[in-house]
């Protein structure tokens, strides 16, 4: 079993991966703690929350690459799974506030504001971290499984599937916008105080969350790599390229699609759960249709069907976004749209594909 | 749909027939692609099916493989598998392999991977995730690559193969699937003369072990392989018998061979 994992990458690739991992979870924190603040080499505290956020996005991109890049099923509704994980974590964080809210009540502030007298039943259990963790791991996956079961069994494909997922995220957004739904309406859940007893304002908590996110992303990447490198992965790409041939070869493609769709939602839910304590808020706008589309764009920009491309794409687009929202906030969406068109038309394999083309040119020059 | 179709591997051919198509009717928007079609394939037989365009040959294949459901009639594989009640993958598991008219292989996979995916084995999700090929299975794949003449190109992406080679690869994928009944739609379309001859030999060598149904237009090819030919016309059987007899049948000459 361990041998199988080691064989996922060549030695050079493993060294590269572990170097990056070491820089991320050892070197950067050390440069924060040991290097004095005046120095240019000092890594400021705010960087960790910011990078943690990007890493969550990278995990989302990884999840989308599994279903879109490898299996050819475009989902424009991954915001839902992300939000489910996020809201579950948010509910736990709300419950951990205790009586320190504005109204000094045992209930979350927004419930007091709405004049609710007791906790709705679906908030029960979120006092417990273990329970919350289980919800995070199970709920998005279960929801995706049920949704996917009906969609794939009815042989809904391509554009139709994408539109349905888009409708799904839109419908859930509207549902969560309502105050009566009991998740804080359009304000969502925010003003968190602590996680597992540690204050969320503390730099050390933020750094720990960032390190946990990095490790989770690393493990998810290895798991995904294992899946796509197995025969199952080859069946998935075969489904993408010629589904009827796969069926006539004796595979129940519904099961395969369900597996990868559920796994994708599972990873996306975890990403949402890690995102919320680092960003400090979760609200229905995460389920905006445009948000889910943006997630797909990360993968397209980075390069579909490579896993590493998805990670790079999420990073590139979000760094660009952070820069734009400061420098020219009004132009961000134009830029994103243009980027998407240019990538689809001229770089169908995205950033990694472009990179591979240049390196192979270099190589052929060398050998010539 | 339960798993019972898959587990019951045995195909009852005690009456000598492996495939029974009885009174099949399929209509698309009023147009009858198949019209009261009756066809029986003997176990181990190599049967050629010819007919002008629109005679219903491909629709017939679709009905047998579960892609199209007939409006009317019964389709039995052996005496015990009702194909009209089975899904595509169940039919494949029961032992029917199909080659499409347009060669359909996995273009982004290597030759070896194409065969690996088609190989007869457990095909559920968990098996695919955890199992790797046994030595024996590798040997089967190597053997088939030899048969279809693509051993040299083992690690080549199949998208880079020529049209004829893709046809061969698809036939190879059927072979590793080890079906009882092979349905082959236009196997020599786009092949050179030599490749065609080679294909004829291959199919002849497979008959007996497998039952084979070939749909083809290429007359020389059919003459070189078939003992028995069935002519389809407007969705039903027009003539049936030895090649020479069929060729001299005035009805057949009128609709097909004469043109």
ipTM summary value: 0.88
The C-alpha angle A18, A20, A25, rounded to 5 degrees, equals 90
Judged by a CB distance cut-off of 8 A, whether residue B192 touches chain A is: no
As a whole-number percent, the residues of chain B with pLDDT over 90 amount to 51
A68-77, A240-249, B63-72, B214-223: least confident range: B214-223
Residue A177 CA: distances (Å) to CA of A88, A182, B208: 16, 9, 68
d(CA B141, CA A98): 64
Q: Which segments in chain A show pLDDT lower than 50? A: 368
d(CA B234, CA B36): 10
Structure tokens at A202: 């503390």
Q: Between B18 and A368, whose confidence is greater?
A: B18
Query: What pLDDT is stored for residue A112 in this prediction?
Result: 92
Q: Helices H, strands E: what count in chain A?
A: 15, 4
Backbone angles phi, psi at B97, to 5 degrees: -110, 150
Q: Check: CB of residue B78 under 8 Å from CB of residue B12.
A: yes
Reported as a pLDDT band with limits 50, 70 and 90, residue B9 is low
Judged by a CB distance cut-off of 8 A, whether residue A231 touches chain B is: yes
d(CA B141, CA B144): 5
Q: So where are chain B's domains?
A: 16-104+178-257
Task: Cite the beta strand spans of A209-337 per DSSP E.
Answer: 281-282
Q: Do B89 and A253 touch (CB under 8 A)?
A: yes
**Within 10 Å of residue B8's Cβ, how many Cβ atoms?**
13
Reported as a pLDDT band with limits 50, 70 and 90, residue B254 is confident
A240 → chain B, closest CA residue: B106
DSSP lists the bridge partners of residue B81 as B77
Structure tokens at A310: 């998805």
Reported as a pLDDT band with limits 50, 70 and 90, residue B247 is confident
Query: What pLDDT is stored for residue A208 in this prediction?
Result: 96
Structure tokens at A353: 């594909």
Q: Do B123 and A246 touch (CB under 8 A)?
A: no
What is the bridge-based pairing of β-strands B211-215 and B46-50?
parallel
Structure tokens at B219: 């007359």
Query: What pLDDT is stored for residue B219 in this prediction?
Result: 80
What is the bridge-based pairing of β-strands A281-282 and A189-190?
antiparallel
The domain B16-104+178-257: what is its CATH number?
3.40.50.300
For B67-101, letters b (16+ CB in 10 Å) and e give bbebeebebbbbeebebeebebbbbbbbbbbbbbe
pLDDT digits (tens, 9 = 90+) for B79-118: 889 999 999 999 998 999 999 888 899 999 999 999 999 9
Choose from B9, B106, B114, B172 for mutation: most chain A CBs within 10 A.
B106
How much is the average pLDDT of B238-248? 87
With the C-alpha atoms ordered B235, B240, B243, B246, is the resulting torsion angle positive or negative?
Answer: negative
DSSP lists the bridge partners of residue B82 as B76
Query: What pLDDT is stored for residue A57 in this prediction?
Result: 98
Backbone angles phi, psi at B103, to 5 degrees: -55, 125
Query: What pLDDT is stored for residue A368 in this prediction?
Result: 46
Query: What pLDDT is stored for residue B190 in this prediction?
Result: 79
């Amino acid at each position: 079993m361990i041998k199988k994992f080691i064989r996922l990458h060549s030695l050079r690739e493993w060294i590269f991966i572990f170097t990056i991992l070491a820089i991320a979870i050892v070197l950067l924190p050390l440069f924060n703690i040991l290097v004095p603040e005046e120095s240019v080499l000092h890594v400021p505290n705010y960087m960790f929350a910011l990078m943690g956020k990007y890493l969550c996005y990278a995990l989302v991109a990884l999840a989308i690459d599994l279903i879109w890049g490898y299996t050819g099923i475009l989902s424009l509704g991954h915001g839902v799974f992300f939000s489910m994980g996020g809201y579950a974590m948010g509910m736990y964080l709300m419950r951990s506030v205790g009586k320190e809210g504005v109204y000094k009540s045992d209930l979350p502030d927004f419930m007091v504001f709405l004049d609710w007298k007791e906790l709705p039943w679906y908030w029960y259990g979120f006092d417990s971290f273990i329970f919350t963790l289980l919800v995070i791991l199970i709920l998005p996956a279960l929801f995706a499984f049920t949704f996917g079961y009906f969609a794939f069994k009815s042989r809904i494909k391509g554009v139709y599937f994408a539109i349905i997922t888009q409708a799904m995220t839109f419908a859930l957004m509207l549902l969560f916008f309502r105050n009566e739904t009991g998740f804080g309406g359009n304000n969502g859940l925010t003003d968190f105080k602590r996680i597992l007893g540690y204050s969320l304002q503390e730099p050390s908590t933020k750094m720990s969350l960032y390190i946990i996110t990095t490790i989770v992303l690393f493990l998810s990447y290895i798991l995904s790599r294992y899946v796509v490198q197995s025969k199952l992965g080859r069946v998935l790409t075969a489904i993408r390229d010629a589904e009827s041939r796969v069926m006539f070869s004796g595979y129940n493609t519904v099961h395969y699609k369900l597996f990868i769709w559920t796994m994708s939602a599972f990873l996306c839910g975890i990403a949402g759960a890690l995102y919320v304590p680092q960003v400090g808020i979760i609200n229905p706008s995460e389920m905006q249709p445009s948000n889910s589309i943006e997630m797909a764009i990360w993968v397209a920009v980075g390069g579909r069907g490579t896993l590493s491309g998805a990670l790079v794409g999420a990073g590139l687009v979000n760094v660009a976004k952070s820069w734009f929202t400061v420098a020219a906030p009004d132009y961000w969406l134009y830029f994103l749209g243009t980027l998407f068109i240019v990538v689809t038309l001229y770089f169908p394999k995205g950033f990694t594909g472009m990179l591979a083309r240049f390196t192979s040119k270099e190589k052929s020059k060398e050998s010539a | 749909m339960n798993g019972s179709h898959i587990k019951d591997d045995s195909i009852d051919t005690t009456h000598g027939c492996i495939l029974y198509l009885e009174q099949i009717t399929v209509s698309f928007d009023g147009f009858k692609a198949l019209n009261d079609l009756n066809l029986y394939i003997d176990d181990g037989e190599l049967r050629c099916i010819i007919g002008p365009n629109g005679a219903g040959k491909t629709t017939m294949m679709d009905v047998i493989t579960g892609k199209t459901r007939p409006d009317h009639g019964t389709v039995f594989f052996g005496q015990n598998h009702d194909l009209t009640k089975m899904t595509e993958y169940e039919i494949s598991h029961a032992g029917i392999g199909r080659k499409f008219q347009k060669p359909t292989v996995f273009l982004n996979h290597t030759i070896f991977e194409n065969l690996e995916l088609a190989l007869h084995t457990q095909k559920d999700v968990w098996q695919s995730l955890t199992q790797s090929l046994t030595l024996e299975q590798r040997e089967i794949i190597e053997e088939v690559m030899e048969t279809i003449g693509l051993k040299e190109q083992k690690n080549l992406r199949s998208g880079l193969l020529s049209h004829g080679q893709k046809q061969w690869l698809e036939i190879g994928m059927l072979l590793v699937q080890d079906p009882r009944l092979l349905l082959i739609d236009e196997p020599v379309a786009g092949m050179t003369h030599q490749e065609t001859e080679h294909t004829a030999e291959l199919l002849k060598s497979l008959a007996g072990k497998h039952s084979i149904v070939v749909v083809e237009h290429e007359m020389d090819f059919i003459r070189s392989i078939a003992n028995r030919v069935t002519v389809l016309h407007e969705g039903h059987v027009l003539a049936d018998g030895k090649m020479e007899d069929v060729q001299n049948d005035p009805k057949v000459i009128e609709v097909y061979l004469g043109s």
